[in-house]
A and B are shown apart, each in its own frame.
Chain A
Amino acid sequence: MTITLRYFAWIRERIGRSEETLDVPAEVATVADLVGWLTAKGPEYAAAFERAHVIRAAIDHTHVQRDARLAGAREVAFFPPVTGG
Chain B
Amino acid sequence: MSVRVQSEDFDIGREIAAVMTGNTDIGAVVTFTGVVRGAAGDAAITSMTLEHYPGMTESELEQVEAEAHKRWPLHATRIVHRVGMLMPGDNIVLVVAASAHRHAAFEAAAFLMDYLKTRAPFWKKETDLSGTGHWVDARESDDEALEKWKK
A and B from one assembly?
yes
Q: Interface of A with B (CB < 8 Å)? A: 6, 8-10, 58, 61-63, 77, 79-85
- Is B72 an interface position by the 8 A CB rule? no
- Is B93 an interface position by the 8 A CB rule? yes
Tier of interface size on chain B: 20 to 34
Add 7 more A-B contacts to A6-B53, A58-B121 (CB < 8 A): A9-B123, A77-B53, A80-B123, A82-B117, A83-B136, A84-B50, A84-B123
From B81, B135, B137, contact of A84 by CB (8 A): B81
**How far is it, in angstroms, between the C-alpha of A85 and the C-alpha of B79 when the chains are bound?**
10
Complex contact A83–B137 (CB within 8 A): yes
Complex contact B135–A82 (CB within 8 A): no
Complex contact A83–B124 (CB within 8 A): yes
**How far is it, in angstroms, between the C-alpha of A39 and the C-alpha of B93 when the chains are bound?**
35
Complex contact B116–A81 (CB within 8 A): no
**How far is it, in angstroms, between the C-alpha of A25 and the C-alpha of B116 when the chains are bound?**
35
- Is B138 an interface position by the 8 A CB rule? yes
Complex contact A77–B123 (CB within 8 A): no
